[in-house]
Structure formats: C-alpha cells, structure tokens
C-alpha cells in the first residue's frame, strides 16, 4: 500500500510503501520516553521505496544491548517520523501517527515489550469515552 506522511508543521514529508497489516505496538521504556506517550505504534517501510523531503533531526539512541538506532523527528514541531538503523537501513520504522492514511491501516497485529507496558494501557475499554473533549 502506498502511503504519504509527514510531521505536524509540514517541514518533513515522505512517501512509502507499507504492508497495512504489519502495524505493531511497542511498550518498551525507550518508546514510552521517546514518544512521550504510553506506547508507540509503528509500521515498517522498505528503504527502497521510502522518499523523504525535508531534513529531520536525528537522535541516535543506544539501547541497553548496545544497538544504536536513529530516531528521526522534525526539528521545528518535534513530531516523530521514523526510527532506523544508523547506516544503510534496510527499512524504516514509521510512526503511525505521522501517516496520512493511518485510519485505513489495519489494527496492530502484535505488541512487544509487554513486560514494561503501563498496566492500564493493555485495556482501555473501561475508561470513560467521549466523542470529543468532555
């Protein structure tokens, strides 16, 4: 599936090809910290079909395992765009919130790092719901 995406302010835009059924959730503490949220939702995009316009700022994160990952975000609005290997990435892990067609993507198929999930984030059905602000 061809998709387009970018940051909130418009400085960064991209095109990519993804599998809409490859959406996943990561509950690791790095994703919580870097996203500023409870968990991160991503979908992989092959590098050969990923075209980006505008230059994201890169933060290189070193995991406890020693693995380094480039975290790309807009230098103006701060929106997260992708994570990828530092050099010659075979794929880009796109942040689903940056994808214009995110509503059309399938629901996530798997959740990883559930051992560090915020317990409430595993089931939101009992949380009061409103169509807009309450």
The binding site for Zn ion (CB under 5 A) comprises 7, 9, 11, 26, 28, 31, 74, 76-77
Q: Whose Cβ is closer to Zn ion: residue 15's or residue 76's?
A: 76
Residue with token string 């939101």: 124
User: Considering the complex, what minimum distance in angstroms separates the CB of residue 20 from Zn ion?
Assistant: 21
Rounded CA gap, 46 and 44, in Å? Answer: 7
Sheet containing 51-53: order of strands: 2-6, 13-17, 51-53
Is 11 or 46 the residue whose CB approaches Zn ion more closely? 11
User: Bridge-partner residues for 5, per DSSP?
Assistant: 14, 99
CB neighbourhood size of 111 (10 A): 15
Q: How far is the CB of 126 from Zn ion (least distance, A)?
A: 25
Least Å distance between CB 73 and Zn ion? 8
Nearer to Zn ion, 28 or 41 (CB): 28
Closest separation in Å from C-beta 25 to Zn ion: 9
Give the nearer residue to Zn ion in terms of CB position, either 1 or 86.
Answer: 86
CA distance 9 to 77: 6
Which residues partner with 16 through β-bridges?
A: 3
């Amino acid at each position: 599936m061809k998709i387009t995406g970018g940051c909130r302010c418009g400085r960064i835009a991209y095109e990519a090809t993804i599998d809409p059924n490859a959406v996943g959730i990561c509950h690791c503490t790095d994703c919580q910290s870097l996203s500023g949220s409870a968990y991160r939702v991503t979908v992989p995009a092959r590098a050969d079909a990923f075209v980006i316009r505008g230059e994201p700022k890169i933060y290189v994160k070193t995991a406890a395992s020693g693995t380094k990952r480039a975290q790309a975000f807009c230098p103006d609005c701060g929106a997260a765009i992708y994570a990828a290997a530092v050099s010659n990435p075979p794929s880009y892990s796109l942040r689903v919130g940056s994808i214009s067609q995110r509503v059309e993507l399938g629901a996530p198929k798997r959740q990883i790092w559930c051992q560090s999930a915020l317990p409430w984030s595993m089931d939101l059905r009992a949380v009061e719901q409103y169509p807009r602000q309450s």
